[in-house]
Amino acid sequence: MCQLHNFRPKRDPCSAANINEITVEHTAIKWTVSFQLKMIIGQATLRCRCLTDATKLVLDVRDLSIRSVSINGVDCDFRIAPNVYTFFGSKMSVYLPPQFQKAGTILQVTVAYGTSPDATALQWMKKEQTADKRMPYLFSQCQAIHARSIVPCMDTPSVKSTYEAEVTVPTGMTCLMSAIGQGSKGDDDTTTFFYKQPVAIPSYLIAIVVGCLEKRDISDRCAVWAEPSVVDKAHWEFAETEDILASAEEIAGKYIWGRYDMVCLPPSFPFGGMENPCLTFLTPTLIAGDRSLVSVIAHEIAHSWSGNLVTNSSWEHFWLNEGFTMFIERKICGRLVSEDYRQFMAFNGWTNSLIPAVYEQFTPTHQFTKLIQDHTNVDPDVAFSCVPYEKGSALLFYLEQKLGGSEIFEAYLKDYLKTFAHQAIDSWQWKDHLYKYFADQKEVLDTVNFDLWFNGVGMPPEKPNYGQSMVEACEVLLKKWLAADESTVGDITSEDYYAMQPLQQIELLSQLWQHDPPIEHYKLDALNKLYKLNDSQNSELLLNWLRLCIKSKWEECIPKALDFVNSQGRLKFCRPIYRDLAQWPIANKKARDVYLKGRSQMHPITAEMIAKDLHIRHSTHTVCF
Ligand code: BES
Ligand code: ZN
């Protein structure tokens, strides 16, 4: 059975590419960025290798205007067939002339094209929408399947290609990419930036930012970029990056990507962070003023190994990217803070992320609560949740405890990353390697119900043991709040709260939120006054605070909640708040109005997902025939 895995054809239901016949080894991009047209115009040359005899090359595209296709310089025939589901884009078949149809042939396929102003990978911003209001701004987000809207490609994580790019932008603007800069040249009107990514990467890691950007160095290999008015704050907030990277290397091995730069994007960036190689993208909501949210950097750094080096072969095995990354992120924080802190983070993930995802966001029988998912006709943006993150990380945490503890498991982790570096794998390849590595503990592994972990819905079959030392302070304080009544609530003092770590404060709010019946309004008022919750600069804390207020139907919080979802576009914050408000009759209309008013300025992914949450019809989510 195990040997068969090598012969199993690769599967990725989210891509139309003929990956078992042809592969892409290098991609050369030439782009001109037009802010007037909201288009990227140019060409991509794909160096392809025929793995078997083949009559055509099939690529993924979405809303691209194709001008011409040539093979080794000679124009050739192609055809574009839309998928019934618009989120898949279209299948582009390039017909190979007879002399190029043999296994082993190498082809240079050049596609000249332009993107659509509605390309789902891109957000085009007017200068008025930026922090400094000096220049327009453009950024991409290709994960999971949006790369096809900016470049014709085999848009599956199972195909890895090196890339180089020449990008022409208006002079005065800076272009950054997920690659190593090779300088720039230009004149008064336009400047061309040159980039090379010498490590083969999946298409979802191609990334671009164009804007008014300044850089601050953090170390020899780390720097942060942001708009001028933000860059110094970002530089202070992320000053620990080199230490995090050094600690990650101790856990995972040498950092092979050369540079680790970051760009702090506008608030509409839909994610906390995105692990674009050489250039992590970050939300500005991480700037809390006290470095309390830098675990996101540890997370994106961890992806330099889990995800970017060892890659899930399709989004059905997303946990191999994100579960491993959560696990390594917590290992890094364990080293930098303490083992107790790592245990607390993992506990927090189980109780405050996994449980609500299984019971509240989905239901315990929902397909998306599985570790390995079936993405046939499924939009990966819709399937996205913290389940692969937390179920995956819990499985590794559980295995660590079963197989002899942290040291033994770290040696295994290094071996896993080394074995599969530069490859894309599925969960069965992961399991085969685990059994091989721990051959002397086969009986122990046989007691793990992998079938339930992989394919079971709902919560995992086992719960790991999480050290409780840091949870205790939260529980003591929780009891105080629950025991208080209107006459004694004023006796609670703030020292024990301020003595806690920010993550413990968040845990307290989350426990109050989980409590039934909902917390009374006078207590919310007292909590707010004592801990200055409305004024918190910590966006994670604010999320938990607002959800607590909404659960109690405390009307005073509605303007604050609307302001929160309007001032930033991080899905992790906006989706739960919008969903909570939508379920509350007096807030429902206000939430819809705020969404409808802001929609045209929103990031395309956020606009799409919030429309779904609010049950509002949205232009791109219909089926196209
Ligand atoms: N790679 C993800 C973001 C992502 C996943 C984008 C799937 C598109 C599709 C990134 O590494 C991530 O997980 N970001 C998290 C933060 C993290 C600390 C859990 C986020 O955005 O919240
Ligand atoms: Zn991640």
Q: Is pLDDT of 245 > 60?
A: yes
CA distances from 69 to 7, 8, 51, 156, 207 (A): 33, 32, 21, 21, 23
**Interval 547-572: pLDDT, tens:** 999 999 999 999 999 999 999 999 99
**522 assigned to active site:** no
Which residue's alpha carbon is at the smallest distance from atom 5 of ligand 1?
A: 143
Residue 391's pLDDT is what? 99
Looking up tokens 């332009």, which residue turns up?
A: 114
Ordered by start, the domain boundaries in the chain are 310-455, 475-622
Q: Are the beta carbons of 193 and 169 closer than 8 angstroms?
A: yes
CA distances from 295 to 126, 251, 272, 376 (A): 31, 16, 10, 33
For the Cβ of 273 lying below 6 angstroms from any atom of ligand 1, the answer is: yes
**Could you give the 3-state DSSP secondary structure of residue 69?**
strand
What would the CATH number be for the domain defined by 310-455?
Answer: 1.10.390.10
DSSP string, 355-374: HHIIIIIS-TT-GGGSSS--
Q: Using CA atoms, how far apart are residues 149 and 523, in angstroms rounded to an integer?
A: 49
Q: Are the beta carbons of 88 and 101 closer than 8 angstroms?
A: no
Q: Using CA atoms, how far apart are residues 39 and 118, in angstroms rounded to an integer?
A: 9
Tell me which architecture the domain covering 475-622 has in CATH.
Answer: Alpha Horseshoe (1.25)
Q: Is pLDDT of 150 > 90?
A: yes
CA distances from 313 to 61, 179, 332, 368, 377 (A): 19, 22, 25, 18, 17
Record the pTM: 0.97
Q: In this prediction, what percent of the chain has a pLDDT beyond 70?
A: 98
Residue 625's pLDDT is what? 40
**Interval 275-332: pLDDT, tens:** 999 999 999 999 999 999 999 999 999 999 999 999 999 999 999 999 999 999 999 9
Q: Is pLDDT of 523 > 80?
A: yes
Of 227, 300, 390, 400, which one is the catalytic site residue? 300
Q: Is pLDDT of 575 > 50?
A: yes
| Residue 88 assigned as binding residue | no
**Interval 95-104: pLDDT, tens:** 999 999 999 9
**Interval 104-127: pLDDT, tens:** 999 999 999 999 999 999 999 999
Q: Using CA atoms, how far apart are residues 178 and 121, in angstroms rounded to an integer?
A: 14
For the Cβ of 272 lying below 6 angstroms from any atom of ligand 1, the answer is: yes
- 273 CA distance to ligand 1 centroid (A)? 6
Q: Is pLDDT of 486 > 50?
A: yes
- Of 330, 317, 320, 319, the closest CA to residue 397 belongs to 330
| Residue 271 assigned as binding residue | yes
Residue 620's pLDDT is what? 54
Residue 418's pLDDT is what? 98
Segment (H or E) for 465: none
**300 assigned to active site:** yes
- Of 569, 515, 570, 522, the closest CA to residue 547 belongs to 515
Q: How confident is the model at residue 617 (pLDDT cuts 50, 70, 90)?
A: confident
